[in-house]
């Protein structure tokens, strides 16, 4: 009986404690949390309707940013439009202009009249293996080159674009309006380029745009709706659908805004209300684009094309085709592009393939029907955008390739991960997934290397003693001699993992940071350390030598190694390290270790073991892998979205360099003679060192 009584008493006490705890949580919510949420909501509503503050930058056509040169690749095509008789194509490397006829290659767009760089594809399979090919490339390469459309130049960030990568564009009020992923809005009117950047950075990350007669609207990554009337930007709605919803497209149909999303269906915005519509049709579907006519609307999804009905419903008119783009022709013909490089005509609720460019997955990014405005000889043609090719489908059904030349600024890809220079002055560019470009001295030619081995490049490091270029990638380490023949260092040779992210050198040999630990070359014998040897984490990203100490950056902190033994680990819990994910290390001349983190900004471990106290005005930014260098006493950090963060330890001054960068995602640096080479995910920027001195007041 006593035991049962004790159990009952414990049960009553437990219930009482649980009730009191619930009451306590409820009180906390109603006293603190709910008023705070209401205050935030009121502040959000107060912001809606307000005019947004912005800065604008104007470039006259032909004006160049002094001391800055930009090279990029005309690839990753996203959209196109006809504007004042010319065709403009948005890409990941800038804005391309096409003309009917002979075309012009002049300084009218601020580009060189002489093509300085030739793309030389390597064909020596004994050195590099077979180049990547798929069915699309085989089909497209067999097409004739279009002799009607000619490239007449290319705009980049050096000409005034906010950044090279253009997500979408639209013609509105005799202006060409473009949006960028991190750098706001660019407007072009044939006489000048005007870039708008909002002071609150969340509004600069724009995902889509649409226009009506009186306004053009922009939707940001945060799902904010911004209205522009030609004179001022006004916040119409903040966070329409919540932060986790990705908006892909929008249009204004019958005074209502329809919004397409990625996997969240179709929404309708009316005044201040945004609600999901026709969930029975569009739930869990990816809406790639929305097009409208005066009397109906088309919604393209990954499960077919839907047409709006007069009663407010929708009907499938294409069959279950994964659609990536759609367009109307002047003759009210409906065309769609799919994820397999096919163009379909929709007629009587059935689709018919009118052009196909291979069987491998290749997204049709846009279809642009051409009218007489682009040239009488082009009327009835359709311009087709693929990821890396522009094609023209004539009115007779003939397919041709459009030669897109960017007038001497032609890299073979844009996402640069590393830069190095060898002892004969060749500049090496490593790409995220497109191998290596080698720029000859004097910029006379560009040689491209790409094969199964030479594809994913994460880091380049030149060994002056052996005159060899080391390349870290997904297949181990590639070591190139001066004739560009290479040998490999892989797990078969003792490397702990073939996924290599960084290379360093000592007098005895190389240090290789990999996804499985760190491998150290001790006079030809490869020795490795990983978590079993007390390393912070197996994922290692960078290394730095200070005297006889080796510091290794990992996903879980920094490990200090001496004589192949981990002596100390620096983590967030036991040090002043601002973030566990450490992406870059560099040592200065005084033996101090400068640290870049992914989400915590910068830190410094002094030689005496103390941590430097830094008051950085740029909080919690992401430093990209190995994008941390020291030149002339200045620390340069390449960030994911903030451009270049520069710090002067001597003066304790901070700077944020953005002007002329192809992208705010800065991935690598290299100083060569009087130039600073800056790699980004949208091309290469070469900045004269005098510009850096002027910017930092040195």
Tell me: pLDDT of 62 over 70: no
CB atoms within 10 A of CB 309: 11
**pLDDT tens figures, 390-409:** 888 887 777 787 877 654 45
Residues in the chain: 698
Tell me: pLDDT of 437 over 70: yes
Tokens coding 510? 């190389």
* Section 70-91 average pLDDT: 92
- According to the per-residue pLDDT averaged within each range, which of 272-276, 347-351, 542-546 is highest? 542-546
Angle at 540 between CA 414 and CA 552, to 5 degrees: 115
**pLDDT tens figures, 313-347:** 899 998 888 999 999 887 778 999 998 888 898 88
Tell me: pLDDT of 31 over 80: no
Question: What is the C-alpha separation between 232 and 303, in angstroms, rounded?
Answer: 39
Picking from 152, 184, 79, 90, the residue whose alpha carbon sits closest to that of residue 663 is 184
Q: For the ranges 6-10, 108-112, 370-374, 469-473, which has the lowest average pLDDT?
A: 108-112
pLDDT above 90 covers a percentage of the chain that reads: 57
Q: What local confidence, expressed as pLDDT, does residue 46 receive?
A: 46
Tell me: pLDDT of 182 over 50: yes
CB atoms within 10 A of CB 347: 11
Tell me: pLDDT of 287 over 90: yes
Place of tokens 């994922």: 539
DSSP, collapsed to helix, strand or coil, labels residue 624 as: strand
Question: What is the C-alpha separation between 392 and 146, in angstroms, rounded?
Answer: 7
Tell me: pLDDT of 273 over 90: no
Taken in order of first residue, the domains within the chain and their CATH numbers are: 54-120+148-328 (2.130.10.10), 425-696 (2.130.10.10)
676 — alpha (psi -120 to 50), left (phi > 0) or beta?
A: beta
Picking from 121, 159, 91, the residue whose alpha carbon sits closest to that of residue 445 is 121
**pLDDT tens figures, 487-512:** 999 999 999 999 999 999 998 899 99
Place of tokens 């992406």: 583
Sheet bearing 86-91, strands edge to edge: 79-83, 86-91, 94-100, 149-155
Tell me: pLDDT of 568 over 70: yes
Q: For the ranges 79-83, 130-134, 576-580, which has the lowest average pLDDT?
A: 130-134
Tokens coding 272? 């201040």
Tokens coding 256? 């209502």
Q: What is the mean pLDDT of the chain?
A: 86
Picking from 210, 211, 207, 212, the residue whose alpha carbon sits closest to that of residue 224 is 207
Assign 183 a pLDDT band (cuts: 50, 70, 90): very high
CB atoms within 10 A of CB 273: 9
Tokens coding 569? 């680990």
* Section 60-81 average pLDDT: 84
* Section 26-54 average pLDDT: 66
Q: Please classify residue 167 by burial: count the beta carbons closer than 10 Å to its beta carbon, then call 0-12 exposed, 13-18 middle and 19+ buried.
A: middle
pLDDT above 70 covers a percentage of the chain that reads: 88
Tokens coding 361? 């997955």
Picking from 579, 586, 588, 582, the residue whose alpha carbon sits closest to that of residue 559 is 582
Picking from 300, 210, 41, the residue whose alpha carbon sits closest to that of residue 225 is 210
Q: What local confidence, expressed as pLDDT, does residue 319 receive?
A: 82
For residues 546 and 1, which has the higher predicted lDDT (pLDDT)? 546
Question: What is the C-alpha separation between 592 and 628, in angstroms, rounded?
Answer: 14
* Section 261-285 average pLDDT: 86
> Read out DSSP for 289-319?
EEEE-SS-EEEEETTEEEEE-TTS-EEE-S-
Q: For the ranges 128-142, 240-254, 433-447, which has the lowest average pLDDT?
A: 128-142
Question: What is the C-alpha separation between 210 and 314, in angstroms, rounded?
Answer: 21
Q: What local confidence, expressed as pLDDT, does residue 32 receive?
A: 64
Question: What is the C-alpha separation between 60 and 85, in angstroms, rounded?
Answer: 20
* Section 601-624 average pLDDT: 92
Q: Please classify residue 55 by burial: count the beta carbons closer than 10 Å to its beta carbon, then call 0-12 exposed, 13-18 middle and 19+ buried.
A: exposed
**pLDDT tens figures, 97-151:** 998 765 433 332 332 222 233 232 332 322 322 223 344 555 666 667 776 777 7
Picking from 329, 284, 290, the residue whose alpha carbon sits closest to that of residue 307 is 290
Place of tokens 């003759």: 331
Q: What local confidence, expressed as pLDDT, does residue 694 receive?
A: 93
Whole-Å CA distances, 102 to 98, 151, 380: 10, 9, 20
**pLDDT tens figures, 185-238:** 999 988 899 999 999 989 999 999 999 888 999 999 999 999 999 999 999 998
Q: What local confidence, expressed as pLDDT, does residue 122 receive?
A: 33
CB atoms within 10 A of CB 156: 27
CB atoms within 10 A of CB 23: 10
């Amino acid at each position: 009986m006593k035991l049962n009584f004790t159990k009952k008493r414990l049960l009553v006490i437990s219930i009482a404690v649980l009730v009191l705890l619930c009451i306590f949580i409820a009180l906390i919510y109603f006293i603190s949390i709910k008023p705070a949420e209401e205050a935030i909501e009121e502040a959000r509503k107060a912001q809606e309707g307000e005019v947004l503050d912005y800065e604008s930058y104007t470039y006259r056509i032909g004006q160049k940013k002094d001391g800055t040169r930009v090279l990029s690749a005309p690839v990753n095509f996203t959209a196109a439009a006809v504007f004042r008789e010319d065709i403009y194509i948005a890409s990941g490397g800038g804005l391309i202009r096409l003309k009917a006829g002979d075309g012009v290659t002049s300084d009218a767009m601020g580009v060189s009249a002489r093509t300085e760089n030739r793309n030389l594809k390597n064909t020596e399979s004994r050195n590099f293996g077979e180049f990547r090919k798929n069915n699309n490339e085989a089909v497209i390469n067999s097409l004739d080159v279009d002799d009607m459309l000619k490239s007449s130049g290319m705009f980049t960030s050096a000409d005034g674009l906010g950044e090279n990568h253009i997500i979408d564009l639209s013609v509105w009020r005799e202006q060409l309006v473009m949006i960028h992923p991190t750098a706001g809005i660019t407007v072009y009117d044939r006489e000048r380029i005007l870039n708008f950047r909002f002071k609150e950075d969340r509004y600069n990350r724009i995902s889509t745009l649409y226009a009506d007669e009186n306004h053009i609207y922009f939707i940001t990554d945060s799902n904010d709706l911004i209205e522009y009337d030609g004179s001022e930007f006004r916040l119409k709605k903040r966070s329409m659908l919540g932060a986790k919803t990705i908006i892909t497209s929008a249009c204004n149909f019958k005074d209502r805004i329809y919004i397409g999303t990625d996997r969240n269906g179709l929404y309708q915005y009316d005044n201040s209300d945004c609600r999901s519509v026709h969930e029975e049709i569009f739930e869990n579907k990816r809406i790639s684009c929305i097009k409208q006519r005066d009397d109906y609307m088309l919604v393209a999804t990954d499960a077919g094309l839907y047409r709006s009905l007069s009663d407010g419903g929708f009907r499938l008119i294409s069959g279950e085709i994964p659609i990536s783009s759609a367009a109307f022709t002047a003759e009210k013909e409906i065309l769609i592009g799919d994820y397999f490089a096919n163009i379909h005509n929709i007629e009587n609720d059935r689709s018919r393939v009118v052009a196909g460019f291979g069987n491998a997955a290749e997204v049709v990014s846009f279809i642009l029907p051409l009218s007489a405005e682009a040239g009488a000889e082009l009327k009835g043609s359709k311009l087709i955008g693929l990821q890396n090719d522009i094609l023209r489908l004539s009115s007779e059904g003939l397919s041709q390739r459009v030669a897109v030349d960017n007038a001497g600024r032609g890299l073979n890809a844009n996402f640069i991960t590393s830069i190095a220079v060898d002892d004969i002055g060749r500049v090496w560019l490593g790409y995220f997934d497109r191998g290596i470009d080698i720029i000859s001295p004097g910029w006379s030619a560009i040689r491209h290397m790409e094969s199964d081995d030479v594809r994913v490049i994460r880091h380049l490091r030149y060994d002056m003693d052996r005159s060899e270029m080391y390349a870290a990638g997904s297949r181990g380490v590639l070591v190139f001699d001066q004739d560009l023949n290479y040998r490999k260092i892989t797990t078969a040779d003792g490397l702990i993992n073939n996924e290599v992210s960084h290379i360093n050198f000592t007098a005895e040999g190389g240090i290789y940071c990999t996804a499985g630990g760190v491998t150290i070359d001790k006079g030809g014998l490869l020795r490795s350390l990983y978590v079993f040897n007390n390393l912070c984490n197996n994922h290692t990203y960078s290394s730095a030598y200070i005297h006889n100490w080796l510091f290794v950056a990992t996903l879980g902190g920094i490990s200090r190694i001496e004589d192949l033994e981990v002596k100390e680990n620096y983590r967030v819990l036991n040090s002043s390290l601002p973030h566990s994910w450490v992406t870059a290390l560099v040592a200065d001349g005084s033996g101090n270790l400068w640290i870049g983190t992914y989400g915590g900004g910068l830190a410094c471990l002094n030689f005496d073991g103390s941590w430097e106290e830094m008051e950085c005005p740029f909080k919690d930014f992401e430093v990209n892998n190995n994008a941390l260098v020291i030149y002339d006493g200045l620390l340069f950090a390449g960030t994911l979205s903030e451009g270049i963060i520069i710090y002067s330890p001597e003066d304790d001054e901070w700077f944020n360099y953005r002007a002329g960068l192809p992208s705010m995602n800065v991935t690598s640096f290299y100083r060569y003679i009087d130039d600073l080479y800056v790699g980004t995910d949208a091309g290469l920027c070469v900045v004269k060192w005098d510009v850096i001195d002027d910017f930092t007041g040195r």
